[in-house]
Chains A and B, each alone.
Chain A
């Protein structure tokens, strides 16, 4: 009989925190500056420079720890992880080993197989490294230290996951929680959330863990799922062939759908961790913890429950809107301005999602304000604009957050409600299209559609189609 294998997975997730400045200096964390423009003596490791901890990093790390049910280490320290690499200007990374800020947490995930708890071993704070760029032309490498010193937290899970599905659910849960906290935008593609997968397999029923490998370079949920499948199969094949799994770090090539070994345990460096003498121990008093706790937002589960109570919305809408904190905030703010919840939901779920998808944007990138969305809804409600004009205005609003009232005014897009003007236009259309008139009178109901279209065209779209329809029927 064929052997049954169980996959055991633990995750190391790096999350870039959404602070304005770096973890140990005042340089900007903004993405995409010219190389080495967001730098100073501290984040380029100049001699004599010293790190000073950014308090916001601490607040975010504690906030994530509290949201994932961790114990907060009230006396924590930073340690130096020593290794030589050009992207690491001091040749040590300031991280935490001995006393990480959070420990022993857990989060609940839900898959088809039901609910489950995933343990969090620890969360620690550390600095990001710079970026190496290889210049093929000159055959040399260049370093950009703009990213050097950008704050990260590393969330290390327990080996509690058993499938790709659970891994994705766990990552989704983390992402949602951290986004709700505003601690990070958690974009896998842009690298503000990075996950390394530790995976081993063992025969079903076996107590001991198998030898694990660590998989790096996973840039999307899909890549993670594929890498897990691939690595599981690779390890099972090895075991079936009577070979051993080697403890090593592997790099996933998503295009090829396979991984290759980067370094084995034998090459593992001795990082010579020790407490960084340039930084004093961080002592967190109860007042600070209470303050951070008080600022914790309403998380998704609570929000969904409240939406069900307060707004008359289908579960489907609630699920989609609350999937993004930005979306939910926009929804609530627009409703607070007096717009009808279902109408707001429709704009968000249909037009907004369509445009986000089309432009490959995330909800975090939405530019229009709730005030403008509320105005647009009220314009449409009062039939001041018809629905196709409303969509056109919305696109403009999505693009550059224009004020819909002003825009409609300036562009003259208001529906013409002047019946005599409309009557004149309809009369002209009837006179100009005798064939259609004959068809309609002959019983071809559809012909009226053409006449409505001609009238709308003559009105440059600014007529209420219902009114046009009614007038046509009357005059015919």
Chain B
């Protein structure tokens, strides 16, 4: 088995027992990046020198017995909205095109402490606003399964990098589905933990009350292993929660007997692609056959999640993004007359259209006279949605459904119709509104050859149940049809190459 075919945990074990050196792993990743990056554009920044230097340092620490963790020496990628000390952090926006942080996000520090080698920073929708990675100021990322399609978003660069073998795992952030949906579109595993489980310190905020950092990776074992490293109580983040139940790998058990799984009828109605529906219900059947109790129910309020989400997220974003003003860091317009003109021009030139749309929307719903009608009403809807989930979790251990209504759309298809793009988030956003954990695991491939994702949603702090069910399902499913072979094949494939060539 070649190095790149290994999962993160497998590679970690191989490094530990001396089969593979950290340098070999990093070089394999870097050469994969070199050969396929021109096709997929997963990264905004590849830190070749930094990664090679780190590889030597980490190997030494492993040899000395200082680093003993399961992922020590495993190369990883970081979404470009997580601050990395000394390494460009752009949020895929022109306004932060030159921003080099003086500190690292706590999640990044946790990975580094566990011996991760950071290969670089992955592409994303600008400020995580988008569902396709097409709103990036540095070009769209393409889906390694078919470069004519989007990888999903906003953590599309992270998902595509994992799928293409350009890293062993990656960090993403999920405000309304930004980890789970690209994981689904790229045929990888992704998890959004319970709000407060992973420190947000150093994550450049989009919607602060909804943002959570989580892993994108090759399988459920990797997911649990990375989650164990990421989860920590951080006094620098007031919303961080102290948990003593973060031994996620303990949940890697093939056993779903008696697990009560609810299937919300509202998630299988109009708009859901038939192939997606069949694959997801097929996965439910697999779990049922292994002893889970599967039952359909009505979650209710699903149709209100999208307007509530876009109101709250945009409101917070409009305020969070005020600090990008051209004064302290980032992009400043070349010529201006006075302070206000400088603000106006820097921000007009620095932000892309989707970001501006959400800033305007957010400013509107917070403005005097509209605050009650929009923002407060959205908060009330949020509370009702949480209540609907509470009711569901009184009966079920978890909820099972699709991640997205369709598989990955074609490039350019979504941007022309933002409302349609927003509607694509329908199954993921209520999870953020309620602060719940959600996991996406591949469950099929549609007739166009694009992956389909299964979503498992748990009650707060019930990640372990999700991991157990996903692990059981994954074992039953078997190796996901060509996850790595696919990417490798496509990297050298003629058709994909010529498509991407045109783009470049």
Q: Report the separation of the CA atoms of residues A49 and B323 in the bound assembly, to the nearest whole angstrom.
A: 11
Given that A50-B201, A89-B328 are known contacts, is A274 also in contact with B375, CB under 8 Å in the complex?
yes
Chain A neighbourhood of B375, CB < 8 A: 274
Chain B neighbourhood of A277, CB < 8 A: 207-209, 239, 316
Interface contact A47-B322, CB-CB below 8 Å: no
**A 47-60 binary contact with B (CB < 8 Å = 1; else 0):** 11111110000000
Interface contact B238-A279, CB-CB below 8 Å: yes
Chain A neighbourhood of B208, CB < 8 A: 277-278
Q: Report if A336 contacts B (CB, 8 A).
A: no
Given that A52-B235, A80-B319, A82-B322 are known contacts, is A46 also in contact with B367, CB under 8 Å in the complex?
no
**B 252-266 binary contact with A (CB < 8 Å = 1; else 0):** 000000000000000
Interface contact B238-A280, CB-CB below 8 Å: yes
Chain A neighbourhood of B339, CB < 8 A: 86
**A 252-276 binary contact with B (CB < 8 Å = 1; else 0):** 0000000000000000001011100
Interface contact B323-A90, CB-CB below 8 Å: yes
Which range holds the interface residue count of chain A? 20 to 34
Majority SS of interface residues in chain A? loop
Interface centre among A45, A50, A279, A280 (most CB of B within 10 A): A50
Interface contact A89-B315, CB-CB below 8 Å: no
**B 291-335 binary contact with A (CB < 8 Å = 1; else 0):** 000000000000000000000000110110011110111000000
Given that A47-B89, A47-B204, A280-B239 are known contacts, is A91 also in contact with B101, CB under 8 Å in the complex?
no
**A 23-64 binary contact with B (CB < 8 Å = 1; else 0):** 000000000000000000100111111111100000000000
Chain B neighbourhood of A366, CB < 8 A: none
Q: Report the separation of the CA atoms of residues A89 and B82 in the bound assembly, to the nearest whole angstrom.
A: 20
Interface contact B101-A46, CB-CB below 8 Å: yes
Given that A86-B327, A91-B322, A274-B319 are known contacts, is A48 also in contact with B237, CB under 8 Å in the complex?
no
Q: Report the separation of the CA atoms of residues A52 and B328 in the bound assembly, to the nearest whole angstrom.
A: 22
Q: Report if B202 contacts A (CB, 8 A).
A: yes
Interface contact A52-B319, CB-CB below 8 Å: no
Q: Report the separation of the CA atoms of residues A185 and B212 in the bound assembly, to the nearest whole angstrom.
A: 42
- Within residues 188 to 235 of chain B, which ones have a CB less than 8 A from any CB in chain A? 200-205, 207-209, 235
Q: Report the separation of the CA atoms of residues A331 and B159 in the bound assembly, to the nearest whole angstrom.
A: 71
Chain A min CB distance to B181 (Å)? 22
Interface contact B366-A272, CB-CB below 8 Å: yes
Chain A min CB distance to B234 (Å)? 9
Interface contact A50-B319, CB-CB below 8 Å: no
Interface contact A272-B367, CB-CB below 8 Å: yes
Q: Report if B368 contacts A (CB, 8 A).
A: yes
Interface contact A48-B322, CB-CB below 8 Å: no
Interface contact A52-B366, CB-CB below 8 Å: no
Q: Report if B477 contacts A (CB, 8 A).
A: no
Q: Of B102, B316, B325, which is within 8 A of A41 by CB?
A: B102
Q: Report the separation of the CA atoms of residues A84 and B366 in the bound assembly, to the nearest whole angstrom.
A: 16
Interface centre among A80, A86, A270, A274 (most CB of B within 10 A): A274
Q: Report if A368 contacts B (CB, 8 A).
A: no
Q: Report the separation of the CA atoms of residues A329 and B201 in the bound assembly, to the nearest whole angstrom.
A: 44
Q: Report if B363 contacts A (CB, 8 A).
A: yes
Q: Report if B393 contacts A (CB, 8 A).
A: no
Chain B neighbourhood of A299, CB < 8 A: none
Interface contact A84-B96, CB-CB below 8 Å: no
Chain B neighbourhood of A50, CB < 8 A: 200-201, 236-238
Chain B neighbourhood of A289, CB < 8 A: none
**A 305-328 binary contact with B (CB < 8 Å = 1; else 0):** 000000000000000000000000
**B 344-379 binary contact with A (CB < 8 Å = 1; else 0):** 000000000000000000010011100100010000
Interface contact B323-A91, CB-CB below 8 Å: yes
Residue of B nearest to A42 (CB): B236
Residue of A nearest to B201 (CB): A50
Chain B neighbourhood of A92, CB < 8 A: 319, 322
Q: Report the separation of the CA atoms of residues A273 and B366 in the bound assembly, to the nearest whole angstrom.
A: 7
Chain A min CB distance to B97 (Å)? 13
Chain A neighbourhood of B105, CB < 8 A: 48
Interface contact B322-A278, CB-CB below 8 Å: no
Chain B min CB distance to A377 (Å)? 50
Which range holds the interface residue count of chain B? 35 or more
Chain A neighbourhood of B203, CB < 8 A: 48
Residue of A nearest to B312 (CB): A277
Interface contact A48-B319, CB-CB below 8 Å: no
Given that A89-B323, A272-B366, A279-B238 are known contacts, is A48 also in contact with B316, CB under 8 Å in the complex?
no
- Within residues 80 to 96 of chain A, which ones have a CB less than 8 A from any CB in chain B? 80, 82, 84, 86, 89-92
Q: Report if B480 contacts A (CB, 8 A).
A: no
Q: Report if A143 contacts B (CB, 8 A).
A: yes
Q: Of A48, A51, A90, A91, which is within 8 A of B83 by CB?
A: A48
Interface contact B202-A52, CB-CB below 8 Å: no
Chain A neighbourhood of B368, CB < 8 A: 270, 272
Interface contact A46-B102, CB-CB below 8 Å: yes
Chain A neighbourhood of B318, CB < 8 A: 82, 272
Q: Report the separation of the CA atoms of residues A45 and B101 in the bound assembly, to the nearest whole angstrom.
A: 12
Interface contact A48-B366, CB-CB below 8 Å: no
Interface centre among A48, A82, A92, A143 (most CB of B within 10 A): A48
Q: Of B83, B96, B239, which is within 8 A of A278 by CB?
A: B239
Interface contact B316-A84, CB-CB below 8 Å: no
**A 322-350 binary contact with B (CB < 8 Å = 1; else 0):** 00000000000000000000000000000
Interface contact A49-B96, CB-CB below 8 Å: no
**B 61-77 binary contact with A (CB < 8 Å = 1; else 0):** 00000000000000000
Chain A min CB distance to B364 (Å)? 9
Chain B min CB distance to A241 (Å)? 34
Q: Report if B268 contacts A (CB, 8 A).
A: no
Interface contact B325-A84, CB-CB below 8 Å: yes
Q: Report the separation of the CA atoms of residues A306 and B375 in the bound assembly, to the nearest whole angstrom.
A: 55
Q: Report the separation of the CA atoms of residues A181 and B238 in the bound assembly, to the nearest whole angstrom.
A: 28
Chain A neighbourhood of B204, CB < 8 A: 47-48
Chain A neighbourhood of B363, CB < 8 A: 272
Q: Of B91, B99, B315, B324, which is within 8 A of A274 by CB?
A: B315
Q: Report if B343 contacts A (CB, 8 A).
A: yes
Chain A neighbourhood of B367, CB < 8 A: 270, 272
Q: Report the separation of the CA atoms of residues A80 and B317 in the bound assembly, to the nearest whole angstrom.
A: 12
Q: Report the separation of the CA atoms of residues A135 and B235 in the bound assembly, to the nearest whole angstrom.
A: 39
Q: Report if B103 contacts A (CB, 8 A).
A: yes
Interface contact A274-B366, CB-CB below 8 Å: yes
Chain B min CB distance to A11 (Å)? 25
Chain A neighbourhood of B324, CB < 8 A: 47
Chain B neighbourhood of A44, CB < 8 A: 328
Q: Report the separation of the CA atoms of residues A279 and B236 in the bound assembly, to the nearest whole angstrom.
A: 11
Interface centre among B96, B200, B237, B323 (most CB of A within 10 A): B323
Chain A min CB distance to B255 (Å)? 37
Interface contact B238-A52, CB-CB below 8 Å: yes
Chain B neighbourhood of A274, CB < 8 A: 315-316, 319, 366, 371, 375
Q: Of B101, B209, B343, B371, which is within 8 A of A48 by CB?
A: B101
Residue of B nearest to A90 (CB): B323
Interface contact A272-B319, CB-CB below 8 Å: yes
Q: Report the separation of the CA atoms of residues A50 and B91 in the bound assembly, to the nearest whole angstrom.
A: 17
Chain B neighbourhood of A91, CB < 8 A: 322-323, 325
**Which 6 A-B residue pairs are closest in the complex by CB-CB distance?**
A91-B322, A277-B209, A277-B208, A272-B366, A48-B202, A47-B204
CB-defined A-B contacts under 8 Å, sample of 22: A46-B103, A47-B83, A47-B89, A47-B99, A47-B204, A48-B83, A48-B101, A48-B201, A48-B204, A48-B205, A50-B237, A51-B238, A52-B235, A52-B236, A82-B318, A82-B322, A84-B325, A84-B343, A274-B319, A274-B366, A278-B208, A278-B238
Which residues of B approach A to under 8 Å, CB–CB? Answer: 82-83, 89, 91, 96, 99, 101-103, 105, 200-205, 207-209, 235-239, 315-316, 318-319, 322-325, 327-329, 339, 343, 363, 366-368, 371, 375
